[in-house]
Chain A
Amino acid sequence: MSGFAAPILVLGLSCLVLFAPSLAAGARSLAWLSLAAIALLHAFAITTGSGVWAFAAIAGVSALRAIGVAGSPRAPRATAWVVVLAAGIAATGLAFALPVLAFAGSLISIMLLAGAAPLHRTAARVIESSTPRMTEQLATSIIVVFAHIKFVAPLEIAHEVAPMVVRVGAVLALLPALTALVQPDLRGFYRSAIVMHGGMLVTAVGASGFGHAAAALLVSVTMSLALGGLGVMVASLEERAGLVALSGRAGRISAFPRLAAAFLLFAAAGVGMPGTAGFIADDILLHALWEESVAGSLIMVVASSLLAVATLMTFARVFLGPPTPSLAPDLRASERGVAIILVVVLIGIGVVPSVLLDAFSNFMIHFGARPH
Chain B
Amino acid sequence: MTDFAPDTLIRIALPIAIAAPIVSSVVVGLTIVGRAKDPGERGVASLLEAGLAISFLASAMSALLVAGAFGPATSVVHDYGAWLALGRYEIPIVLLADGPGTGFSMLAAGLTLLVARFSRTYMLKEPGFNRFFVLLGWFASGAQLVAFAGALDIFFAGWELIGISSALFIGFFYERDEPVRSSMRAFATYRLCDAGFLMAMVSTHELLGSTHLSALDDSARLPLWQSTAIGLCFLLSVMGKSAQLPFSGWLPRAMEGPTPSSALFYGGVSLHAGLFLMLRISPVVAVSPIVQTVGVLVGVSTAIYASAVARTHTDAKGALAHATLSQVGLILAEISLGLTNLALIHIACHAMLRVWQYLRAPSALHDAHRTADAGRAVPPSANPSAAERRTYAAALHRLRVDDRIDALAEPVLGLARWIDGVDRRFRRLLRRDGQASG
What residues make up the interface of A, taking CB atoms closer than 8 Å to B? Answer: 75, 117-118, 121, 124-125, 127-128, 175, 178-179, 181-185, 187-188, 191, 211-212, 214-215, 249, 251, 253, 268, 273-275, 279-280, 283-284, 286-287, 290-291, 294, 297-298, 301-302, 305, 308-309, 312-313, 316, 320-323, 353-354, 357, 361, 371-372
Contact = CB atoms under 8 A, between A and B. Distances in A.
Contacts of A353: 83-84
A279 B145 CA distance: 16
A321 B431 contact: no
Contacts of A127: 437-438
Interface string B181-193: 0011001100110
Nearest to B189: A309
10 contacts: A117-B423, A121-B426, A124-B427, A179-B420, A279-B157, A301-B198, A305-B194, A309-B187, A312-B187, A357-B84
B199 interface: yes
B437 A124 contact: yes
Contacts of A290: 202-203, 206
B407 interface: no
B437 A305 contact: no
Interface residues of B, number: 51
B157 A191 contact: no
Nearest to B187: A312
B427 A249 contact: no
A320 B176 CA distance: 9
Nearest to B82: A354
Interface stretch (B71-79, B167-175, B353-361): B167-175
A179 B423 contact: yes
| Interface SS of B by simple majority | helix
Interface in B379-438: 412-413, 415-417, 419-420, 423, 426-427, 430-431, 436-438
Contacts of A117: 423
B180 interface: yes
A176 to B, nearest CB: 8
Interface in B156-179: 156-158, 160-161, 164, 167, 171, 174-175, 177
Contact of B89 (A121, A182, A287, A294): A287
B183 A316 contact: yes
Given A280-B84, A287-B202, A322-B175, A316 B91 contact: no
B117 interface: no
B426 A211 contact: no
A117 B438 CA distance: 16
B437 A179 contact: no
Given A178-B419, A249-B180, A320-B174, 5 more contacts: A118-B426, A182-B417, A273-B164, A301-B199, A354-B84
B153 interface: yes
B91 A283 contact: yes
Nearest to B409: A181
A185 B87 CA distance: 42
Given A183-B420, A251-B175, A312-B167, A128 B192 contact: no
Nearest to B173: A320
Contacts of A188: 437-438
Contacts of A125: 437
Contacts of A313: 184
B192 A309 contact: yes
Contact of A309 (B88, B188, B198, B206): B188
Interface string B322-340: 0000000000000000000
A213 B203 CA distance: 21
B191 to A, nearest CB: 5
B86 interface: yes
**Most chain-B Cβ atoms within 10 A of its Cβ — which of A75, A117, A187?**
A75
A188 B88 CA distance: 39
Contacts of B437: 124-125, 127-128, 187-188, 191
Contact of B438 (A187, A279, A371): A187
B166 to A, nearest CB: 12
B420 A182 contact: yes
